[in-house]
A and B are shown apart, each in its own frame.
Chain A
Amino acid sequence: MATVPDSVEIEKVCKTYASGLQALRDVTFRVAPGEFVSLLGPSGCGKSTLLLLLAGLLPVSSGSIRIDTTVVTAPRPDVGMVFQSAVLLPWRTLLDNVLLPVELLRLPRRAHEERARELLAMAGIEDFAARLPHELSGGTKQRVAICRALVLRPRLLLMDEPFSALDALTRDRMALELLRLWEQLRPTVVFVTHAIREAVFVSDRVLVMSPRPGTIGFETDVKLPRPRGLSIQESEEFNRYAGSLRRAIEAEEVV
């Protein structure tokens, strides 16, 4: 089941849009294979831009991004991506939505259908496999989007504020389910969020980004034991991490 995870090396990456807006300046960090790293910051700090660069959907202005030692110039088949909204195709059943990446790469459907059903089962939504997206809740749709990102056994999973459109209770449960999936599959994860507690809860390491232009200002290893349950959020250690990250974000904003 487990795959060999990718490493990510980002070196002095700058991104300036055609409009002249500098979104990122000298961003440098490394993600170890199998590591779960969060990019935390307020909206407009360039964290989503950084993720689009990682996905190969946007070119860097300068600097370099390497995944598994190869420079990223275009999307890669071993990278899965989850967006802020589920972006499911409304005319496809949940199963067919999960199988979309298989189809786009012209891989045999038969060989992957079992895998897709397995993922839906792990997400607890196998009963809805034949349903259309409009019949389902936001949380279920986002679970499908995660299954879709995992169907080709990615070695790197990119997540762009995947739970920000969900209500607080669903959010907590989704984060927990994501960790459960991740512990079984162990891909490298780069997780973008603006929620401090969510970042602490899921991550091995949190990088704080400050805006205009986006750079990484502060980082901390989260040495909470795994597997983590929701109750860990009540622990003193958890709140200490959350507190230091909050102070770091506030300090960045003053500057």
Chain B
Amino acid sequence: MSLSRLTWPLGVSAVALVVWEAAVGALGIKAVVLPRPSAIAAVVLERWPLLLEHLWPTFYQILLGFALSVVGADNYVRGLFDPDMWFALLVTATYSLITVPVQLGLGFVMAVLLVYSERIRKGVLPLIVTSQIVPKVAVAPLLVVWFGTGDLSRLLLAFLIAFFPIVINTVVGLTSVDDDYIKMARAFMGTRWQIFAKIRLPHALPLIFGGMKISITLAVIGIVVAEFVAAQRGIGYLIVMANGLLDTPLMMAAIAVLSAMGLALYGLVVALERVVVYWHVPAETTAGGTP
């Protein structure tokens, strides 16, 4: 990463923070309305254990929601991080058992099916697209009614929000291979499976990663929104709680920490992309600014 790529966004951010700090002081704005950046930073430093306690569940649920969207794998792994909620796990496990086939059919697997079966494409793709028009945020309370206030609702919401870009990008990636490549592979006696594994899939990888970059940010939104609606912990819950106490500095500290985490997750996907899609030089992908 070159120096100028970092200095410009950092410089602009720094100027904005200085203006903010000065404006709050000069205009006499109360901390309840808008705290100074320095006050927010102080909260982050002082109440770090509290923030971390709530960041952790948000973090692993985002990762899980994202992972579900990528592979449609089941969510038993969740229990490993959550040893003191065995009952909830049992309930969730039961639900997840029911939803496993559904989950397996979504994400990447769904994309492959959409590409290779015309019937599924014609029958299911319109439903998927339509489901994206429904505002997921509005569905959150409904999920709570159906699946309770446990982790399952949260994961489902994150999954519902996050999986669409991955499905669509994977479909586009698998089908946008230039016909000449398919002809070439067939002329050299490639089988259908070989054409999928050696040509379509690698060709789709840059686009799949494009979808993953969108999905990871959407997964953050999904989990936090779900935590707004129903949760006893998590950063979303902390924000709602701080709001109730009119503790604006804590709210903004939570938002800052959340943003940093989202950025880190995004960076992780970008780093993975650089390794996996080594032949592809991605356009400007990393956000260089600080929250």
Q: Which residues of A contact B (CB under 8 A)?
A: 52, 55-57, 75-77, 79, 81, 83-85, 87, 89-91, 100-101, 103-105, 132, 134, 148
Contact = CB atoms under 8 A, between A and B. Distances in A.
A101 B199 CA distance: 13
Interface string B220-246: 000000000000000000000000000
Nearest to B179: A87
Looking at chain A's contact residues, the main secondary structure is: loop
B278 A75 contact: no
Kindly list the 8 A-B residue pairs having the minimum CB-CB distance in the complex, ordered from nearest.
A101-B188, A81-B187, A91-B279, A104-B190, A87-B184, A87-B180, A90-B279, A104-B188
Interface string B188-202: 111100100011001
Contacts of B191: 104
A81 B180 CA distance: 12
Given A104-B194, A132-B279, A91 B188 contact: no
Contact of B279 (A101, A134, A148): A134
A112 to B, nearest CB: 13
A52 B186 CA distance: 11
B187 A90 contact: no
Contacts of B199: 89
Contacts of A132: 279
Nearest to B278: A91
Given A87-B178, A103-B198, A75 B279 contact: no
Interface in B100-143: none
B270 interface: no
B236 to A, nearest CB: 40
B32 to A, nearest CB: 55
Contacts of A85: 180
Contacts, number: 52
A101 B198 CA distance: 12
B183 interface: yes
Contacts of A101: 188-189
Contacts of B279: 90-91, 132, 134
B280 A100 contact: no
Contacts of B186: 57, 75
Given A81-B188, A87-B178, A104-B188, 8 more contacts: A83-B183, A84-B180, A87-B184, A101-B188, A103-B198, A104-B185, A104-B191, A104-B194
B181 interface: yes
A75 B202 contact: no
Nearest to B178: A87
A100 B188 contact: yes
B272 to A, nearest CB: 16
Given A89-B199, A132-B279, A104 B189 contact: yes
Contacts of A100: 185, 188, 198
7 contacts: A57-B183, A75-B186, A81-B184, A104-B188, A105-B188, A105-B189, A134-B279
Nearest to A100: B188
A89 B188 contact: no
**Of A52, A85, A104, A134, which is in contact with the most chain B CB atoms at under 10 Å from its CB?**
A104
